[in-house]
Structure 1
Amino acid sequence: MRVLLVDDEPPAIERLAAFFANIPGSEVVGTAANGVEAQAAIAQLHPDLVMLDIQMPEMGGLALAGTLPLDERPEIVFVTAFEQFAPDAFEVEAADYLLKPVRLDRLRQAVERARRRQTGRRAAMQSGGGATSTFDDAIWVPLREGQARVPIAAIDWIEAAGDYAMLHTALRSHLLRTTMSALEKRIDPGELMRVHRSAFVRLARVVEIRRVDKWLLTLVLNDGAEVAVGPNYARAVTAALAGG
């Protein structure tokens, strides 16, 4: 995977470059210090992945992402010290959103997610393109003042709560009146996998598997959440984690 690093802070570029040296199948092909430089570098280098800071002089990361045609652009992973831009990042369909200082394990997860997205996009184009997904790319949830759009890409896991579902993101949780069966029809299993009759999980967020016995598992996510795996789902979940 050809990678372009974009950040106006040299230490941040150096840290990412050092990490990518330890990620097989990736190659840093260039760097840029702002969105204007990044535009030129993307046109010249055709990277597969852009690690993009958000707050930069001349042109920030979100502004740059908005100028790139979605069907032609590289995968984008935002890297920033600020949590509050996450909703905007997923609105422009970023592959992931990393907070500084970046950890190597989270970077690996982000790169793998970007690689899977790129592979899926290329496969769709080779199979004739044009076909639109039958799955939702976002879910609207009620608020006191109206509704909020929650991108599927921003959801880490979902749990049943009586007649409701709790959608957990990195920034907050949202309550939605629906069933797990209804959500299963709306959500791409490549994004969020059903691991229990009462739970979905983004497997890229799993950092530990705790085995109670052969088919009784608990998944530990990077935010510390623990999600039980149902016996009927354990084999598929184990295979997916081993292959991912």
Structure 2
Amino acid sequence: MLVVDDEPLAADWLARCLKDMPGVELVGSAADGDEAMEKIAAERPDLVLLDIQMPGRSGLSVARALENGPEVVFVTAFAEHAPEAFEIEAVDYLLKPVQVDRLAEAVRRARRRREMREAYERVEAAARPQEAPGPETAGYDEELWIRRRDGYVRVRVDQIRRIEAARDYALIHTATKTYILRATMSELAERLDPAKLLRVHRSAFVRPDAVARVERSGRSAMRLHTEDGAAVEVGVSYVKRVSEALGLD
């Protein structure tokens, strides 16, 4: 379980409440939405207790991005976001100050829902026919199948703007969403066409036509600024390859 709250006292209270709950393991905490995405990708918690109003990415934005992620229980001081929270399939919506028995109920509800989903996925996997390899398997992938709460979603490689590593997982960024895929950068390097997604660092891929500006500092330092506002460092050993791919002098 992961606690995400920008208020240290609130995060500490939740951690203390969870400490004595049977079957609950707290794997960490995050203080804002961006850190939450990193921690979720790295720790793979079953449940996230998520504040809504935080610096940077909001809790609602984080939850929308978790296409294949954990169950979400919102913990907030603002009641007006409840309708939107349940539209994105939150398990529960707790108002601060959180009562221990109410938190325990939300945890039990999340556990039941996850068990039901995992049982459904096992049945679905057993019933799914094994397809023969198609023409795409002989070369680079044209699409990635990414697990989500209710099954899988297909993301075409042409939709991907950039990819960043998070241990044994990858954050797949498109124009509208971020997906979490269980794959290493080395695995993706074998599956993805470098003309479409160029590896620029041991922990990053970037779509060449998504690069809006290139920043240079000396001969071996390079940073790519993409159309969506991200800044991606280029590894020293990748500078020559990136320069050639982008047609730089």
TM-score (norm 2): 0.50
Query: Which residues of 2 match residues 120-131 of structure 1 at below 5 A?
Result: 120-128=116-124
Matching residue of 2:9: 11
1:79 aligns with 2:100: no
Query: Which residues of 2 match residues 21-100 of structure 1 at below 5 A?
Result: 21-69=19-67, 72-100=68-96
Q: What secondary structure does 2:69 align onto?
A: coil
Question: What is the percent sequence identity of the aligned residues?
Answer: 55
Structure 2: unaligned runs, 5 residues or longer: 128-249
Which residue identity does 1:80 align to in structure 2?
A: T
Aligned-residue offset at 1:52? 0.1
Aligned-residue offset at 1:67? 1.1
Query: Quick one: structure 1 residues 129 and 91, their matched pair in 2 at CA, closer, same or farther if it must change by over 3 Å?
Result: farther
Aligned-residue offset at 1:39? 0.3
Which residue identity does 2:22 align to in structure 1?
A: P
Q: Distance in 2 between matches of 1:97 and 1:41?
A: 21
Which residue identity does 2:60 align to in structure 1?
A: L
Which residue identity does 1:22 align to in structure 2?
A: D
Runs of 4+ with >6 A deviation:
none
Aligned-residue offset at 1:26? 0.2
Which residue identity does 1:93 align to in structure 2?
A: E
Matching residue of 1:20: 18
Q: What secondary structure does 2:90 align onto?
A: coil
Query: Which residues of 2 match residues 161-172 of structure 1 at below 5 A?
Result: none
Matching residue of 1:105: 101
Matching residue of 2:111: 115
| Structure of larger gyration radius | 2
Q: Distance in 2 between matches of 1:53 and 1:119?
A: 24
Q: What secondary structure does 1:64 align onto?
A: helix
Q: CA RMSD in A?
A: 1.4
Q: Distance in 2 between matches of 1:30 and 1:47?
A: 9
Which residue identity does 1:95 align to in structure 2?
A: V
Q: Distance in 2 between matches of 1:25 and 1:87?
A: 30
Q: Distance in 2 between matches of 1:65 and 1:6?
A: 12
Aligned-residue offset at 1:22? 1.5
Q: Distance in 1 between matches of 2:125 and 2:58?
A: 31
Q: What secondary structure does 1:101 align onto?
A: coil
CA deviations 1:72-98 (Å, max 9, x no partner) are 210000000011000000011000000
Q: Distance in 1 between matches of 2:93 and 2:115?
A: 19
CA deviations 1:28-66 (Å, max 9, x no partner) are 101000110000000000000000000000111001111
Q: What secondary structure does 2:22 align onto?
A: coil
Q: Distance in 1 between matches of 2:107 and 2:123?
A: 24
Q: What secondary structure does 1:128 align onto?
A: helix
Query: Quick one: structure 1 residues 130 and 59, their matched pair in 2 at CA, closer, same or farther if it must change by over 3 Å?
Result: farther
Query: Which residues of 2 match residues 140-151 of structure 1 at below 5 A?
Result: none
- For these two proteins, the number of residue pairs brought into alignment is 127
Q: What secondary structure does 1:5 align onto?
A: strand
Structure 1: unaligned runs, 5 residues or longer: 132-244
Which residue identity does 2:31 align to in structure 1?
A: A
Q: What secondary structure does 1:28 align onto?
A: coil
